[in-house]
Structure 1
Amino acid sequence: MSPTPQQRRAARHQLDPSAPAARRGPSGRRKKPITVEAIISTAFDIVEKEGYEALTMRRVAAALETGPSSLYAHVVNKEDLDELLIGRLCAEIELPAPDPATWRRQLIDVCTQLRDQYLRYPGISQAAFAAAPSNLDTLRVSEGMLAILLAGGVDPQTAAWTIDALTLYVNAHSLEVSLAARRSDEAWVRSRDEMLNRFAALPDTFPQTKRYAAELTAGTTHDRFAFTLGLMLDGLPGQPSLA
């Protein structure tokens, strides 16, 4: 019976870390050995240059000058590769020792770090959607967030669902920013001045939008990100304001 994906993932952590034999291409030059690290590095390079939509097992294999089947000895499937990529980004996040006095700011900082990691690679936060994390580096971040919330006096069930809500927002925010940055349609609204002009030209059936156009278009994406995180944390049961 073939091993399950879970068994293959577990076995990967026990593989001999010694480098495999070097490969040679058609020209006789040495090619990069096929390893998990090489696959991850190549995948990140593809996403950075072409966006997450371009990332497929076949595309990674082509970049490594091999066939897709060669990758499956190291990575179970595309979903497994996604998990490895998100785990690698999470591994770079610094988690503080939970402090009851500053737990809210600590949590916002962790979320901000996660957002910044995602924004390095256009659209990569899609890999974190609809996935139950099992990668230890990814679980390390959720463990840290849970510890911070518990230190702040949030009950365990609320803390658990708060992590879900925060990470979902970070994922969605990062994806939207990445998509906006990659739009090629010149007619797409990009400036605040253009938005203000459009709102000003609206018919009088939009009185509130016209009156509060400045407020509706105010702030950078970073301002709105911080505001939303604060709003979510302010909504926790029995918790005082951030002020």
Structure 2
Amino acid sequence: MSADEQPIASVWTRPRRQREQLSREQIVSEAVALLDAEGLEALSMRRLGTRLGAGATSLYRHVANKDELIELVVDEVYGELEVPAADEAAGWRSAAGRSGASLRSMALRHPWVASVLGQVGLAHLGPNVMRMSERMLAVFKSAGFAPDEADQAMSTLIAYVIGMATSEAAYLSLIARSGKSEQEFVKSLRTSQERLRLPEGQAVQHGKDPRQIREDNFDYGLQRVLDGLEARLRSTNGQ
């Protein structure tokens, strides 16, 4: 095999080390916990090693660098997704909507994930990412989209979900830094808006649970994306 034909190095192609005190699963689990608690900026091999009670050298026996660690943690949280099967065309919209809602929930549980998804190269996709992507792609194929367009439809849905979740996660992070509950934070916003006498469309909605407002706003956009995909499907099928 020539140098040009050498396989791309990836954490997924490296043999697992057996009978070691520290396992890859332990490393990944602790890395996810660190990211959830302190964000991407806090992640380093040294910091992770300290949390595990081991030196960074022990970690390097399992992962070559931080980039490989990112591949592992992204794949780990992707395993939380729930992508229902759509065995017939009539069920594709419900399945796609539930998949999008599950992706949003995962991204809000792990706010760091949206910012690193673009760093995971296609050649380095892990088993969970591949499995969930294939299941979601099957939903759009079952709807009647041609293979190439099914991939585009799936990417459109994912782009909407990740965009909304990134904005929502930033908002929730701001609330967390304020030390207030979401209800308290929104109440303080309402007070400020009343003082500024903002137009009704720009003011925070009164009398509604702020979490429910976020759910409704996300679902509204999700349904409009699905409306567009459904209209496209009908036009290509001559309906």
Partner residue in 2 for 1:122: 111
Query: Is the alpha carbon distance of 1:64 and 1:211 closer, same or farther for their aligned partners in structure 2, counting shifts above 3 Å?
Result: closer
Distance in 1 between residues matched to 2:191 and 2:152, nearest whole Å:
37
Distance in 1 between residues matched to 2:191 and 2:149, nearest whole Å:
40
Distance in 1 between residues matched to 2:233 and 2:187, nearest whole Å:
35
Deviation sequence 1:79-104 (CA, Å, 0-9, x none) = 22122112112223233222311211
TM-score (norm 2): 0.75
CA contact (8 A) 1:52 1:121 kept: no
Query: Is the alpha carbon distance of 1:196 and 1:158 closer, same or farther for their aligned partners in structure 2, counting shifts above 3 Å?
Result: farther
Q: Comparing both structures, which one devotes a greater share of its residues to helix?
A: 2
Query: Is the alpha carbon distance of 1:94 and 1:213 closer, same or farther for their aligned partners in structure 2, counting shifts above 3 Å?
Result: closer
Distance in 2 between residues matched to 1:123 and 1:77, nearest whole Å:
18
Distance in 2 between residues matched to 1:60 and 1:6, nearest whole Å:
26
Distance in 2 between residues matched to 1:193 and 1:102, nearest whole Å:
43
**What is the 5 A alignment of 1:53-72?**
53-72=41-60
CA contact (8 A) 1:100 1:151 kept: yes
Shift of 1:239: 3.6
| Residues paired across the two proteins, number | 218
Partner residue in 1 for 2:144: 153
Query: Is the alpha carbon distance of 1:150 and 1:109 closer, same or farther for their aligned partners in structure 2, counting shifts above 3 Å?
Result: same
Distance in 2 between residues matched to 1:175 and 1:97, nearest whole Å:
26
Partner residue in 2 for 1:7: 9
**What one-letter code is carried by the residue in structure 1 that aligns with 2:222?**
L
Shift of 1:152: 0.8
Shift of 1:191: 1.3
Distance in 1 between residues matched to 2:155 and 2:136, nearest whole Å:
10
Query: Is the alpha carbon distance of 1:122 and 1:97 closer, same or farther for their aligned partners in structure 2, counting shifts above 3 Å?
Result: closer
Shift of 1:37: 0.7
**What one-letter code is carried by the residue in structure 1 that aligns with 2:142?**
A
Shift of 1:19: 2.8
Partner residue in 2 for 1:24: none
Shift of 1:151: 0.8
Deviation sequence 1:30-59 (CA, Å, 0-9, x none) = xxx222111101101212322333222221
Q: 1:201 aligns with which of 193, 196, 202?
A: 196
Partner residue in 2 for 1:93: 81
Shift of 1:106: 0.4
Q: Which 5+ residue runs of structure 2 have no aligned equivalent?
A: 235-239
Distance in 1 between residues matched to 2:83 and 2:128, nearest whole Å:
12
TM-score (norm 1): 0.74
Percent identity of paired positions between Structure 1 and Structure 2: 27
Residue 217 of structure 2 is aligned to residue 224 of structure 1? yes
**What is the 5 A alignment of 1:93-112?**
93-98=81-86, 99-112=88-101
